[in-house]
Amino acid sequence: MMPSLRGPVRRYMRPLVRIVMTLLCAALLPAAGNAGTLPAAVGATPMPSLAPMLRGVTPAVVNIASKTVVRERDPFFDDPVFRQFFGLPGAPRERVEQSLGSGVIVDAAKGYVLTNNHVIAGADQITVTLQDGRTLHAAVVGSDPATDIAVLRIPAEHLSALPVADSARLQVGDFVVAVGDPFGLGQTVTSGIVSALGRSGLGDGYQDFIQTDASINPGNSGGALVNLAGQLVGINSMIYSPSGGNVGIGFAIPSNLALQVMRQLIRYGSVRRGSLGVDTQPLTPALAHALNLRAGAEGVVVTRVRAGSAAAQAGLKPGDVIDALNGQPLRTPQDLANLEGLLPVGQSARIGVLRGAQRLQLEAMIEPLRLATADGSSIDPRLAGATLSDLAPGQRPGGLPGVALTRVAPGSRAAASGLRPGDVIVGVNQRRVEGVAGLRALLAAPPRQLLLTVVRDGRGFYIMAE
């Protein structure tokens, strides 16, 4: 039997391995005097780094701090008899709420900053801190709760702006970097990839989100999502988190949508949305059978076509099923509201229609969405200072009808009651509100007390208007 060579081989290999490892470590170690740093290159290959790109990005990403004065309500302190009996001051108690977020300078010459609407909604004071340490007061140019976009303006002195990329060219798998100010710790950079495109169904409003696994945490809202060329591709907006922490599912508003909204906010102060002029409901198997549709058909059923609307001119009829808009498939009324609300006014839209056994392709010109508006004082003096508007299809919280507050004048009765721009009134004295006309009808005989059910940032609560 041949003797085993395993022992001798081990004895000779150990010193050889040590020599090879020593040579490798010597080749990889930095030169003396630079201990603790990575080498600029390994051989002829440079070390990869995002630092050069980020040097041009980070000066354009800002911290946003907002302060809001909130009246604290108490059933006893609100009672004038109670206050008089106990000699309490008549002025309402107040507290100050503070919040932090991020923003992106997109126009250095004019001082325009893009951020999320929820970062600055209802704020009485907004300050912007630049990377160089300067703190500037910001004015709100306009905000759009339906897309969660707001535009601020700061003094345009020695600012740096981010170039904006065409977000329609993004692909799943593209590398992206998120820059913001999470938890108020200071500017922070995280990286990841585009996980998905065109995400919706994450709440109310018009949605076409970029999904990314780059870490987005509280305070990152309104910050920049950039590509590896240092160009803005999205505005970081929200995370999905069962626990409240980052789990690698973040969402950003595409730069194309953000710019489209920004241009309208700068020009008009609000967003002028388009509409086909139809009301719809989900297509159920029972409805599909009743409408003689093929098995497995998907889409939304047209229940009403407004006279003179784009849909009427295109030939849509009640009972038609819309299954696609500009080639995008539709499965729910929310899908239609998203696509419809994001189309520019005046653009032609292709509508895929099922009418019984027929398949039709209709074309309609998107027209401005006409929403009823009213001054609050014309409905009830306790709403003085508020501008009220019907809700657009994509603005309804939880699908509920209601009335949006598009403006609340500082120091007005509406503001003193605690109402803010972006609030949605869904009930009055425990009765549901059906638009401006419905609110006017409910308050035709002014009630003694005006208890409003309000939805703000997805949370419902009561406000007693005085």
Please list the active-site residues.
Answer: 118, 148, 221
Instruction: Say how far apart CA 385 and CA 433 lie, in whole Å.
Output: 19
136 phi/psi in degrees, rounded to 5: -125, 145
347 phi/psi in degrees, rounded to 5: -85, 145
Instruction: Say how far apart CA 116 and CA 104 lie, in whole Å.
Output: 10
Instruction: Say how far apart CA 407 and CA 405 lie, in whole Å.
Output: 6
Instruction: Say how far apart CA 348 and CA 352 lie, in whole Å.
Output: 13
Give the residue among 453, 442, 449, 422 at the shortest CA–CA distance from 148.
422
Q: Is the Cα torsion angle 388, 389, 390, 394 positive or negative in sign?
A: negative
Instruction: Say how far apart CA 341 and CA 337 lie, in whole Å.
Output: 6
C-alpha atoms less than 13 angstroms from C-alpha of 434 in its C-beta half-sphere:
3
Element (H, E) at 251: strand 250-254
**3-state class (DSSP) for residue 107:** strand
> Residue 208 contacts by C-beta under 8 Å, 6 or more apart in sequence?
198, 199, 200, 253, 254, 257, 338, 342
Instruction: Say how far apart CA 91 and CA 361 lie, in whole Å.
Output: 63
Instruction: Say how far apart CA 423 and CA 412 lie, in whole Å.
Output: 15
Classify the phi-psi angles of 296: left when phi > 0, otherwise alpha if psi is within -120 to 50, otherwise beta: left
Instruction: Say how far apart CA 234 and CA 104 lie, in whole Å.
Output: 10
Instruction: Say how far apart CA 65 and CA 419 lie, in whole Å.
Output: 21
